[in-house]
Structure 1
Amino acid sequence: MARNWTIDFNEEAIADQIAQAKETAIAEENAGPCARQVEYDHQRNLIVFYFANGSQFAVPPDLIQGLQGATVEQLNNVWLDRAGLSVHWPSLDADFSILSLVQGIFGTKAWMAEIGRQGGKQTSEAKRKSSRENGQKGGRPKGSVKVVKI
Structure 2
Amino acid sequence: MVSHEAFEQANTRAAALKKHGPQAVSARYDKRVHRLVIGLSSGIEIAFRPHAAEGLEGAKPADLDIIEISPSGLGLHFPKLDADLYLPALLEGFLGSKHWMAAKLGQQGGKAKTAAKAAAARENGRLGGRPRKQERC
Question: For 1:94-105, what aligned pairs fall within 5 Å after superposition?
Answer: 94-103=83-92, 104-105=94-95
What stretches of structure 1 move > 4 A for 4+ residues in a row?
Answer: 23-28
Structure 2 gap ranges (5+) = 1-10, 117-137
Taking a change above 3 Å as real, the CA distance of residues 122 and 46 of structure 1, as seen in their structure-2 partners, is farther
- Structure 1, residues 7-33: CA drift from partner, whole Å, max 9, x if none? xxxxxxxxxxxxxx9x99865521422
* Aligned mates of 2:40, 2:57 — CA distance in 1: 24
Taking a change above 3 Å as real, the CA distance of residues 88 and 122 of structure 1, as seen in their structure-2 partners, is same
Aligned pair 1:114/2:91, yes or no?
no
Q: CA deviation at 1:69?
A: 2.5
**Sequence identity (%):** 30
Question: For 1:86-97, what aligned pairs fall within 5 Å after superposition?
Answer: 86-97=75-86
Q: CA deviation at 1:78?
A: 1.1
1:57 touches 1:102 (CA, 8 Å); kept in 2?
no
The TM-score, its normalising length taken from structure 1, stands at: 0.57
* Aligned mates of 2:14, 2:51 — CA distance in 1: 32
Aligned residues: 107
Report the counterpart of residue 72 of structure 2 in structure 1: 83
Aligned pair 1:71/2:60, yes or no?
yes
RMSD between aligned residues: 3.1
* Aligned mates of 1:122, 1:42 — CA distance in 2: 30
Query: Which SS does the other structure have where 1:67 is aligned?
Result: coil
**Letter paired with 1:86:** G
